[in-house]
Structure 1
């Protein structure tokens, strides 16, 4: 089993558990250059808030260095801020099968500090 298949298998297992909980989910996706975050409704069809390192305000805050932990922390702050404005305070953290360290952990910690509970 290759690396991508293993990640997708972990993601499927995690999403089935989140679906049983019936709460909004904070989904994270990362590439080598960028990191993306969305807060999805319980049905998974409606995006309530989103943030990414591709957005101009986030890019300028991290001086166009988008593939590092500082950029992930900035995205975590932005997504928490937008989610709270949308009326969401409790979410389940869906890391999309990525291991919980580095940029994924930095995003989660920043979102928690900014007021999201998961």
Structure 2
């Protein structure tokens, strides 16, 4: 029987998460994409703490669910990471394909100064 789109994404997510984890010096940049919003977090998996988080809901001047909003979310997360003294991260796309809004978040974070 064929997997649903969400089940296939969760299977890809588990396959990715076996290989990557975040540390205090190089946290994991986790992305979640819903139909309406984008959520990104910097996570230290060793101490199980979220170091910084941004969502498209927290950005007052951004409306909608397009690539421009995703780019702004990535840039805002990079700003918060720089305040915490974080320069390098591990990108966790959470099983989503690397295009569209996921790629826009990554591009915004890179433009903001994060390296991955």
**Residue 16 of structure 2: aligned partner:** 14
**2:60 is the counterpart of 1:59:** yes
**Residue 42 of structure 1: aligned partner:** 45
**Residue 111 of structure 2: aligned partner:** 113
**2:57 match: secondary structure:** coil
Contact 1:59 1:66 in 2 (8 A): no
Q: For the residues of structure 2 that align with 1:76 and 1:89, how far apart are their CA atoms?
A: 14
**2:108 match: secondary structure:** helix
**Residue 76 of structure 2: aligned partner:** 78
**2:30 is the counterpart of 1:27:** yes
Unmatched tracts of structure 1, length 5 or more = none
Normalised by the length of structure 1, the TM-score is 0.88
Which of the residues 91, 94, 98 maps onto 2:92? 94
Evaluate the alpha carbon distance shift between residue 52 and residue 44 of structure 1 in structure 2; reply closer, same or farther with a 3 A threshold.
farther
Contact 1:76 1:108 in 2 (8 A): yes
More helix by share: 1
Q: For the residues of structure 2 that align with 1:38 and 1:110, how far apart are their CA atoms?
A: 14
Evaluate the alpha carbon distance shift between residue 44 and residue 8 of structure 1 in structure 2; reply closer, same or farther with a 3 A threshold.
farther
Normalised by the length of structure 2, the TM-score is 0.90
Aligned length: 112
Q: For the residues of structure 1 that align with 2:105 and 2:60, how far apart are their CA atoms?
A: 15
